[in-house]
A and B are shown apart, each in its own frame.
Chain A
Amino acid sequence: MDDNVGAYDPNEDNNNIKEQERLLPIANVGRIMKQSLPTNAKISKEAKETMQECVSEFISFVTSEASEKCRKERRKTVNGDDVCWALEALGFDDYSGPIRRYLHRYRELEVERTNQDRVRDNEREA
Chain B
Amino acid sequence: MDDEQERLFPIANVGRIMKQILPPTAKISKEAKQTMQESATEFVSFVTAEASDKCHKENRKTVNGDDICWALSTLGFDNYAEAIVRYLYKYRQAERLKANQNKGNSTPDNHEEESNYRSGGQHGRQTELPIPLEFRVMERGDNSQARPS
Contacts and interface: CB of A to CB of B under 8 A. Distances in A.
Contacts of B35: 80, 83-84, 99, 102-103, 106
Interface string B110-149: 0000000000000000000000111111111111101111
A30 to B, nearest CB: 10
Contacts, number: 232
B32 A33 contact: no
A79 B62 contact: no
B26, B61, B136, B140 pick with most chain A CB within 10 angstroms: B26
Contacts of B136: 1
B31 A51 contact: no
A16 interface: no
B44 interface: yes
Contacts of B72: 54
Interface residues of A, number: 75
B18 A63 contact: yes
A79 B27 CA distance: 9
Contacts of B31: 79-80, 103, 106-107, 110
Given A36-B48, A42-B63, A76 B27 contact: yes
B90 A10 contact: yes
A21 interface: yes
Interface string A35-46: 111101111101
A70 B36 CA distance: 16
A115 interface: no
B44 A32 contact: yes
A29 B93 CA distance: 22
Nearest to A37: B52
A33 B48 contact: yes
B65 A47 contact: yes
B25 A76 contact: yes
Contacts of A98: 42, 148-149
B13 A25 contact: yes
A95 B32 contact: no
A46 B91 contact: yes
B28 A78 contact: yes
A53 B40 CA distance: 12
A6 B88 CA distance: 13
Given A41-B61, A62-B39, 7 more contacts: A8-B90, A38-B56, A41-B62, A46-B91, A51-B47, A77-B29, A95-B148
12 contacts: A10-B94, A29-B9, A31-B6, A33-B44, A35-B45, A41-B63, A71-B23, A78-B29, A88-B140, A91-B143, A98-B42, A102-B38
